Amino acid sequence: MKTRLLSVLPLLSLLTAGALAVAQTPIIPAGGGTSTAIRPDSIGDGGNMYGYYMGTDAQTRAGGSLLGKVVIAGNPLTWDPTPVNVTCAGKVAFTTFADGKGAFRISAVNANGALSLEKDAKRQMETHFEGCSVSASLTGYTSSSIVLTNRNFRDDPEIGTITLTRSDKSKGTALSRTSEGVAPKAVKLFEKARNDWQSNNQDRIKASLIEAVTIDPNFAEAWYQLGRQEQASSPQQAREDYAKASAADPMFIRPVEQLVILDSQEDKWKDVLTDAARVLALDPRGSAQIWSAYAGAILKAYSAGALPLDKLRIGVTSARNSLALDPLHQVAGTEQVLALILAQEKDYPAAIGHLKNCLTYVPAGASSDLVKQQIAQLEQLQAGAAK
């Protein structure tokens, strides 16, 4: 037991401090409320880039960024950012997010090698993304796709509109299917809260949502959004809101996803295992963040002696699933967790290789210093095992 703790606790302390929550992008925005979500008038972290690009001519706009829209057939757009993936040769190569008005931007990638040294954004985009497909990802919905062509990079960055359509085959859903039966007055209050959210009138949002759930206690979407408003300041109250949302609509996946985030932030690895399993039962594809949290919880369970060594394979699969959905490493700590799980299995070469890869994208400072310490530790263990 002591050997386990020596090799995993330093990184697990970092993960407890927030690496299992969102790192830089709002896959499932940590902290709750709209303060951490993408605002309706922004695209990603680039401010109001959509408006900026629309104010320039097509030739100026072409090359460095591609712009598009997401719509949901028969529904208003979800409040939460909607993931948009660029898939090349069957693998997710780039992930961005549609904002509250459905707008998204695909920016130039930071490629290794000559292209990145030349800082030629247009050539990077063409080299990496021409012929790839762009689609949105929303549990319970199927997405149309757009194939990127040479025209998108050279003439006009407007790639068009992606449409999400409800799927009857999916078990879970990112939008509650019970909303159609909600009391009309509660719906009006919910829409008022949404309008205030789009206008960034923070003081009014919570009051309208509270009134909405008071009128109709089975309004799952309103309970969920109320929890989002309260998560940063009152996480326990947010938990209660999410529980009520889930009780009103057991197929509604988002409140359970937020419980996983809270579990991770509060270092409740037993609850992460339970709640993440609920999420994956509703959506077996999962998300980068859920798979990462699940892998981290499995490693913590093993460290605590609650799981045998052979069960760590589940953690390896979970971490790899996360990495496959997160090519830009927007969820922090996943590859480190994978490396430490492999180290427990004494696969030191693979573990060291993953940690060295982490140094290519982990920010300089405490995080990279910790990775270097882990590499040194594993190299010593590898040398000892070879004797």
Give yes or no for residue 228 having a pLDDT over 60: yes
The domain 1-27+253-387 is classified under which CATH number: 1.25.40.10, 3.40.50.970, 3.30.1160.10, 3.50.50.60?
A: 1.25.40.10
What's the rounded Cα separation, in Å, for the pair 103 and 315?
35
Span 175-241 CATH architecture: Alpha Horseshoe (1.25)
Give the model's confidence band at 63: pLDDT under 50 very low, under 70 low, under 90 confident, else very high. low
- Enumerate the domain spans of the chain: 1-27+253-387, 54-166, 175-241
Angle among Cα 287, 289, 291 to the nearest 5 degrees reads 70
Average pLDDT estimate for 28-48: 33
Give the model's confidence band at 181: pLDDT under 50 very low, under 70 low, under 90 confident, else very high. confident
Element (H, E) at 162: strand 158-166
Q: Does 1-27+253-387 match 54-166 in CATH topology?
A: no
Instruction: Specify whether domain 54-166 bears CATH 3.40.50.300.
Output: no
For residues 379 and 35, which has the higher predicted lDDT (pLDDT)?
379
Give yes or no for residue 249 having a pLDDT over 90: yes
Give yes or no for residue 24 having a pLDDT over 70: no
Residue 145: strand pairing partners: 135
Give the model's confidence band at 245: pLDDT under 50 very low, under 70 low, under 90 confident, else very high. very high
Give the model's confidence band at 147: pLDDT under 50 very low, under 70 low, under 90 confident, else very high. very high
Angle among Cα 96, 321, 264 to the nearest 5 degrees reads 80
SS3 70: strand
Residue 109 is predicted with a pLDDT of 63
Residue 141: strand pairing partners: 166
Encoding tokens for residue 113? 């090698």
Residue 106: strand pairing partners: 66
What's the rounded Cα separation, in Å, for the pair 32 and 361?
27
Q: Mean pLDDT score of the chain, rounded to an integer?
A: 82
Calculate the alpha carbon distances from 254 to 176, 270, 353 in Å.
9, 19, 35
In this structure, of 34-43, 48-57, 132-141, 215-224, the range with the lowest mean pLDDT score is 34-43
| Amino acid identity at 279 | V
In this structure, of 100-109, 214-223, 309-318, 342-351, the range with the lowest mean pLDDT score is 100-109
Encoding tokens for residue 20? 């299992």
For residues 42 and 228, which has the higher predicted lDDT (pLDDT)?
228
Taking only Cα atoms into account, the Rg of the chain, rounded to an integer number of angstroms, comes to 22
| Amino acid identity at 235 | P
